[in-house]
Structure 1
């Protein structure tokens, strides 16, 4: 298995992201943006050849994404209701993604065969995602899936932020004002 490293801060900044290998050599470029229907993230080799794309097909609570490998659609991934949150299916490739969005640890399998693992590593300078991929043909697609998972994790944290932030609760001075008579 080959290990690749993806900088999460660059991924979140909607900038070009360089994916490096264990020797710190640049292997791939991830270019594009999210947010609107028909937005695309593209994975290029360092030589400039287009390897894979992930295209956003729909918006909303259950966005759908299309995976394109060498200009051919190979699969689709989306969140679904009624299925455990930690299990996602890549239709077309018959891959199953199991893991936890909060911890950032995922395994991608095809039957009993391990395709890749995705792990988030926290560092003082920001987060790094490590991708351990079984074969070179799967690397670009796993990079696309890591970008989708990172996006869903960021949106889940934003959605839960009002629950963690108690700004909606009255301030201590407000309560004292109502209790004095």
Structure 2
């Protein structure tokens, strides 16, 4: 298993970022941007050959993405409504992504086999470590890390509607507000 390091700040920037290995050797270039339909993020080798791409198909609350490996469609990723928010499926590859968007820790499985793990490693959370089982999976895992980073940042910006309506606790000596009721006037017959 090889460990790759990715600068998380570069994921959201619309610029080229370098993916390095544990020996600080440059291995991949990440190029592209998000936000509009048909936007693409591409992973190139340092030599310049295209390894993988992730293309945004739809916008909205449940965006869909296509994963391409050597210009061939290999899978689709989308968020789904449901009870389990921390589980995502990569259709086509039959991969399951389990983790936590808030903490940035994920594991990718194919059946019982661990394909990769994605973890924030620096104290400030700016560096992401990708531990990948096989060199053929590295570019696809980089693409999945960009999707997960986008969803994590998008989730942090959304307000929690339950928080606004949640009852608050009263401080000592504070009286709960009450609604003054007006007597009901009876209509004359």
Q: Give the TM-score normalised by the residue count of structure 2.
A: 0.83
- Residue 128 (structure 1) aligns with: 127
- Residue 3 (structure 1) aligns with: 3
Structure-to-structure mapping, 1:44-123, within 5 angstroms: 44-123=44-123
- Residue 171 (structure 1) aligns with: none
- Residue 170 (structure 2) aligns with: none
User: Structure 2: where are the runs of 5+ without partners?
Assistant: 165-189
Offset at 1:161?
7.9
Structure of larger gyration radius = 2
| Dislocated runs of 4+, deviation >2 Å | 160-165
Q: Is the 8 A contact 2:105 2:120 kept in 1?
A: yes
- Residue 169 (structure 1) aligns with: none
Q: Is the 8 A contact 2:13 2:33 kept in 1?
A: no
Q: Secondary structure of 2:14's match? A: coil
Offset at 1:38?
0.3
Q: Give the TM-score normalised by the residue count of structure 1.
A: 0.87
Q: Is the 8 A contact 2:44 2:51 kept in 1?
A: yes
User: Structure 1: where are the runs of 5+ without partners?
Assistant: 166-181
Offset at 1:3?
0.1
- Residue 146 (structure 1) aligns with: 145
1:78-98 C-alpha deviation (Å, 9 max, x unpaired): 000125110000000000000
The 1:163/1:19 distance shift into structure 2, 3 A limit, reads: farther
Structure-to-structure mapping, 1:17-32, within 5 angstroms: 17-32=17-32
What's the C-alpha RMSD, in Å, of the aligned pairs? 1.7
- Structure 2 distance, partners of 1:162, 1:13, is 29
- Structure 2 distance, partners of 1:83, 1:67, is 25
Q: Secondary structure of 1:122's match? A: coil
- Structure 2 distance, partners of 1:12, 1:23, is 25
Greater fraction helix: 1
